[in-house]
């Protein structure tokens, strides 16, 4: 397998790749979209930082791509929807550069409060100008933190050590944990009103795009200083320009810009604006950390193992994964079994998780079912990343419910599939040793290990029928390994499931279907 490494990812961190026999690494610096499109089909994985744009067009050509790794946090340069549709996993390395970004933010806050870069530049130009650089102290001033995640909370921790008051806005955090740290979580407007320094640490999303704009700046204190080491685009740069020009904003420190690289901007006009070229993660430690972390994740993804930091599918912790894993296999088999039993368009899938299963995180199990069912039916590559999206795009309604009790079983997964030809129901359980057992077909009780070749034959419960089916199969020298009959009442309808050692030819299937009393024949191979 081949991995493409771009954007100057730290080579010394790629050790996990070098330890994998058979993995080829290509390290390239800067590629245009056209160049990327041309070479991308040969790669199974790629690593980027923030420079390369992984566009829908690039992904469209990435026919062998399994995983895209981001050596860092922000994935706004990767088209996640296109990756998901293509079945490409996206992983990031969110922990390795937290301290680097938090420390740059502190450097920006201190740089702004004492005009360090400007004073340095003036002195170098031959001027000893003490008067021009009267600073302000941080002690006792209020720092507003927008986004109290990894970086925001590390900035808060450091600013507390400098005796600042901290107020924060983050609608998705635990206020108690923040309060314990000494941070007051407030509505956005209050944070904007109270902050002497305002620092941004949220991702760029539809919600946060241009969050700092003419209106929100108007709410802020006169003389506020604004720091952005998160993402360009969260600040409307034109509004910031106007606010600095008018004196409303006393200074700004920007590491990120709406358009990068950014070497020309009206903001260069102001001496009270400090700008750095997206250096937040640029420390030796951070670059080593993120390269190692993302390389490990990519190796795991290529080997089909559990990946922690997935961005486009929910990631599961090791404990949850261990509990869910046996059911992923069961669900995949059940989905695949269904795919071979149904005819016509699928409209709705209802999955009922009962007994012990109801206490688990069942969404990945649903995904495993969808993958198992859709993969054999569709031309496109269906995997854990795109299975739910594909189902949705095809208008298949997926309902997942749980029930605490599973009659007669410890755990039971029931899958009802509604399609043009009607409704089919399969139910399966995990018995000792995590072996999957199919225990119900369309309301008939059976006990079949869903594996290998099987024949499912609904029929009338009458003498001679089973014998005739056995004879027809025997005539083709196919051995029957196991046989099960499920019936509700004597003489009514029943279902026969034969586990056989070989593929049954189509003409034999037709001959079986013609036996008087046989209602249908399905050959299922897992």
Ligand X SMILES: O=C(O)C(=O)COP(=O)(O)O
Ligand Y SMILES: NC(=O)C1=CN([C@@H]2O[C@H](COP(=O)(O)OP(=O)(O)OC[C@H]3O[C@@H](n4cnc5c(N)ncnc54)[C@H](O)[C@@H]3O)[C@@H](O)[C@H]2O)C=CC1
* Closest by CA position to 243, among listed 262, 269, 222: 222
- CB count in 10 Å sphere of residue 184: 15
Separation of alpha carbons 225 and 87, rounded Å: 43
The item of ligand Y, ligand X, none sharing an interface with residue 1, based on CB under 5 to 8 Å by kind, is none
Separation of alpha carbons 450 and 188, rounded Å: 55
Min CB(179)–ligand Y separation in Å: 15
| Strand partners of residue 349 | 398, 417
Q: And the tokens for 491? A: 């003489």
Binding span for ligand Y by CB under 6 A among 200-208, 312-320, 390-398, 450-458: 200-208
One-character DSSP codes across 55-104: -HHHHHH-TT--EEEESSS--TTB-HHHHHHHT-EEEE--STTHHHHHHH
Interior/surface letters 329-338, b for 16+ CB within 10 angstroms, e for the rest: bbbbbbbbbb
Interior/surface letters 12-29, b for 16+ CB within 10 angstroms, e for the rest: ebbebbeebeebebeeee
Binding status of residue 191 toward ligand Y by CB under 6 A: no
Separation of alpha carbons 326 and 335, rounded Å: 15
Q: For ligand Y, which residue of 7, 103, 236, 255 counts as binding (CB under 6 A)? A: 255
Instruction: Give catalytic status of residue 231 as yes or no.
Output: yes
The item of ligand X, ligand Y, none sharing an interface with residue 357, based on CB under 5 to 8 Å by kind, is none
Binding status of residue 281 toward ligand Y by CB under 6 A: yes
Whether 454 contacts 366, CB under 8 Å = no
* Closest by CA position to 98, among listed 311, 286, 296, 234: 286
Instruction: From the candidates 141, 278, 338, 459, give the one annotated as an active-site residue.
Output: 278
The item of ligand X, ligand Y, none sharing an interface with residue 150, based on CB under 5 to 8 Å by kind, is ligand Y
Which residues would be at the binding site for ligand X (CB under 6 A)?
49-50, 71-74, 97, 278, 280-282
Binding status of residue 149 toward ligand Y by CB under 6 A: yes
* Closest by CA position to 300, among listed 82, 16, 83, 6: 16
Q: Which is nearer to ligand X, 307 or 311 (CB)?
A: 311
Instruction: Give catalytic status of residue 278 as yes or no.
Output: yes
The item of ligand Y, ligand X, none sharing an interface with residue 522, based on CB under 5 to 8 Å by kind, is none
- Convert residues 103-142 into a mask of x (bound to ligand Y by CB under 6 A) and - (unbound): ----------------------------------------
Separation of alpha carbons 350 and 334, rounded Å: 13
Binding status of residue 146 toward ligand Y by CB under 6 A: yes
Binding status of residue 296 toward ligand Y by CB under 6 A: no
Residues 395-424 that bind ligand Y (CB under 6 A): none
Cite the DSSP H helix spans in 342-443: 363-377, 387-393
Q: Which is nearer to ligand X, 104 or 316 (CB)?
A: 104
Q: For ligand X, which residue has the nearest CB? A: 72
Q: For ligand Y, which residue has the nearest CB? A: 149
Q: For ligand Y, which residue of 98, 115, 142, 199 counts as binding (CB under 6 A)? A: 98
The item of ligand Y, ligand X, none sharing an interface with residue 111, based on CB under 5 to 8 Å by kind, is none
The item of ligand Y, ligand X, none sharing an interface with residue 173, based on CB under 5 to 8 Å by kind, is ligand Y
Binding status of residue 152 toward ligand Y by CB under 6 A: yes
Binding span for ligand Y by CB under 6 A among 26-34, 72-80, 264-272, 509-517: 72-80
Q: In whole angstroms, what separates CA 122 from the centre of its chain?
A: 48
Radius of gyration of the chain (CA): 31
Q: For ligand Y, which residue of 31, 47, 73, 239 counts as binding (CB under 6 A)? A: 73
Min CB(102)–ligand Y separation in Å: 8
The item of ligand Y, ligand X, none sharing an interface with residue 338, based on CB under 5 to 8 Å by kind, is none
3-state DSSP assignment of residue 173: coil
Instruction: From the candidates 231, 333, 424, 459, give the one annotated as an active-site residue.
Output: 231
DSSP for residue 235: B
Min CB(18)–ligand Y separation in Å: 26
Min CB(66)–ligand X separation in Å: 22
Min CB(172)–ligand Y separation in Å: 3
Whether 375 contacts 382, CB under 8 Å = yes
Whether 370 contacts 388, CB under 8 Å = yes
Instruction: From the candidates 20, 238, 258, 260, give the one annotated as an active-site residue.
Output: 260
The torsion of the CA quartet 185, 187, 193, 198, rounded to 10 degrees, works out to: 60
Instruction: Give catalytic status of residue 210 as yes or no.
Output: no
Could you tell me how many residues make up the chain? 526
* Closest by CA position to 58, among listed 39, 85, 81, 84: 39
Residues 6+ apart with CB under 8 A from 258: 232, 233, 235, 237
Binding span for ligand Y by CB under 6 A among 110-118, 226-234, 379-387, 454-462: 226-234
Q: Which is nearer to ligand Y, 237 or 461 (CB)?
A: 237
Q: Which is nearer to ligand Y, 91 or 497 (CB)?
A: 91
Binding status of residue 293 toward ligand Y by CB under 6 A: no
Q: Which is nearer to ligand Y, 155 or 357 (CB)?
A: 155
Q: For ligand Y, which residue of 74, 111, 332, 364 counts as binding (CB under 6 A)? A: 74
Min CB(291)–ligand X separation in Å: 10
Separation of alpha carbons 520 and 526, rounded Å: 19
Catalytic site positions: 231, 260, 278
> Applying CB under 6 A, which residues contact ligand Y?
72-74, 94, 97-98, 101, 146-152, 169-173, 201-203, 205, 207-208, 229-231, 255-256, 278, 280-281
């Amino acid at each position: 397998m081949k991995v493409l490494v771009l954007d100057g990812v730290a080579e010394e961190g790629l050790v996990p790749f070098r330890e994998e026999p058979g993995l080829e690494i290509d390290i390239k610096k800067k590629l245009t979209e056209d160049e990327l499109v041309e070479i991308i089909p040969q790669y199974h994985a790629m690593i980027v930082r923030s420079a390369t744009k992984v566009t829908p067009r690039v992904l469209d050509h990435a026919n062998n791509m399994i995983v895209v790794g981001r050596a860092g946090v922000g994935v706004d340069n990767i088209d996640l929807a296109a990756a998901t549709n293509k079945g490409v996993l996206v992983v990031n390395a969110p922990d390795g550069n937290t301290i680097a970004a938090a420390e740059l933010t502190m450097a920006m806050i201190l740089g702004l409060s004492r005009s360090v870069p400007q004073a340095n530049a003036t002195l170098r130009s031959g001027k000893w100008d003490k008067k021009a650089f009267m600073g302000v102290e941080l002690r006792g001033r209020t720092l507003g933190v927008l986004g109290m995640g990894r970086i925001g909370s590390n900035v808060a921790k450091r600013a507390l050590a400098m005796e600042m008051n901290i107020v924060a806005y983050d609608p998705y955090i635990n206020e108690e944990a923040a309060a314990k740290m000494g941070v007051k979580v407030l509505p956005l407007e209050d944070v904007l009103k109270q902050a002497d320094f305002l620092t941004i640490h949220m991702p760029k999303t539809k919600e946060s795009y241009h969050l700092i704009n003419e209106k929100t700046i108007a709410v802020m204190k006169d003389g506020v200083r604004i720091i952005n080491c998160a993402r360009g685009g969260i600040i409307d740069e034109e509004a910031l320009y106007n606010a600095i020009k008018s004196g409303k904003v006393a200074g700004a420190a920007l590491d990120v810009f709406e358009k990068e690289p950014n070497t020309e901007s009206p903001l260069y006009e102001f001496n009270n604006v400090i700008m750095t070229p997206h250096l937040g993660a640029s420390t030796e430690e951070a670059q080593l950390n993120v390269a190692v972390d993302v390389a490990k994740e990519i190796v795991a993804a290529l080997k089909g193992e559990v990946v922690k930091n997935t961005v486009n599918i929910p990631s599961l912790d090791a404990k949850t994964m261990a509990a869910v894993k046996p059911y992923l296999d069961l669900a995949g088999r059940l989905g695949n079994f269904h795919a071979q039993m149904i005819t016509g368009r699928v409209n709705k899938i209802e999955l009922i998780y009962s007994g012990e299963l109801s206490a688990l995180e069942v969404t990945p199990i649903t995904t495993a079912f969808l993958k198992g069912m859709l993969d054999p039916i569709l031309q496109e590559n269906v995997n854990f990343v795109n299975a739910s999206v594909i189902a949705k795009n095809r208008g298949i309604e997926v309902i997942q419910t749980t029930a605490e009790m599973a009659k007669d079983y410890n755990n039971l997964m029931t899958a009802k599939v509604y399609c043009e030809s009607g409704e089919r129901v399969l139910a399966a359980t995990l018995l000792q040793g995590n072996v999957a057992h199919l225990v119900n077909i369309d309301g008939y009780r059976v006990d079949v290990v869903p594996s290998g070749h099987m024949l499912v034959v609904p029929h009338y419960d009458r003498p001679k029928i089973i014998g005739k089916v056995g004879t027809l199969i025997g005539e083709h020298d196919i051995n029957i390994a196991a046989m099960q009959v499920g019936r509700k009442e004597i003489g009514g309808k029943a279902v026969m499931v034969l586990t056989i050692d070989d593929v049954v030819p189509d003409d034999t299937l037709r001959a079986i279907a013609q036996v008087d009393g046989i209602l249908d024949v399905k050959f299922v191979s897992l």
